[in-house]
Structure 1
């Protein structure tokens, strides 16, 4: 959805981000802040991240965790393609390494992050530019609060993390619609939503208590 079509960011969330960005160095330069947006598949993480990007414009870049999906060919090689999206189908170590670079950017250096392309079913390297002077990096994904499968360091690399949730029936409807949009039949979309996606959602739900804030995105 283009940013222009998004609903405005709620005022309470805007104030929280402004408070996060209020910290500066001794020279008055804004400190880089990393805000995590997590939650189960289909809860609205990407929508909330897009609203944050629209609200803070040139002060914000969104870096999704999904760019670290293992390639489709690699998932097929190791026998995990039938549960793509599970924690062990990501390069968690690569994602952690990127977050560390983003936390402490070298002066004047742009960091490049990968982006997942659903139409290609693969990540594209170097697709997202994060200039050193951007004070807010929003990173969104399912497993930001997970403490196993290599994701344990993520929580400490975030200045704040919000958990997005929706009523289960609404979330499932959105997932089915998304899978159909990207080529699955109605039966296959439903089976994937209530199979692999639901198993991942149950895992993510167990991390909810570690979030700083729980929000619902209409």
Structure 2
């Protein structure tokens, strides 16, 4: 589920097809952080460029407004279970730390990754290490697009943002992210644009560098 801060600073919600995703998507650049803190007053605390402590009561209320009460409660339970599996725990009573995605290029909630869209935006991703290029889109995880193209350069693991084997670095381009385990992508990593490809949704053409074992597999031999 996404908590969306739109260009008019209104707070809305959108539920992606993958319930494992949870993030605050902001339709502004990071320089607008003070304004975002004001917009989230009362529902989030300790708001930084990378994350915010979000009220679980706010999450539950948003989900319960989107459908029948019993099914909504089940969705909320599944969301909390998945956050737990990703290592996202309550840091304070009633609050969980949720990643913040700055997405100034999105126009409305239909452009959110994983949500139902009237049309998808096609982009191209280039893997700098191998020279491979493949088509990708804003409504599909980058890793899935790579695998669909036949590329095996990006390692494939759990596809849920938890195992970390598909870690890559975004050298250039804009993107949105779903929830990623902080054990593999901490705030310092995010500053370097290190992300998990299974949780990346391209918003433009991307240039990617491989990290970890994937990068060593294609590194040239040294003599």
**TM-score, normalization: structure 2?**
0.24
Please state which structure has a larger fraction of its residues in helix.
1
TM-score w.r.t. structure 1 length?
0.24
